[in-house]
Amino acid sequence: MDDIWAYPYRLGIGLFFVVGTIVFMGAFIGTSLWLEKAFKEDKTKK
């Protein structure tokens, strides 16, 4: 188990995928929540 971080970097790449997805999703959802809040009083909203 010493070489779990060695090439071909299986664990590292797997973690990269998971963390990357969480970061991107956080950014997207965070932006949409922020926009929802920022435009809450928008007159075009039904």
Residues that bind another protein (CB under 8 A): 7-10, 12-14, 16-17, 20-21, 24-25, 28-29, 32-33, 35-36, 38-39, 42-46
Q: Could you give the CA distance from residue 10 to residue 36 in angstroms, rounded to a whole number?
A: 39
Minimum CB separation of residue 11 from another protein in Å reads 8
Nearer to another protein, 1 or 8 (CB): 8
Minimum CB separation of residue 2 from another protein in Å reads 15
Residue 34's alpha-carbon distances to 19, 39, 41, in angstroms, are 22, 9, 13
Q: Could you give the CA distance from residue 40 to residue 31 in angstroms, rounded to a whole number?
A: 14
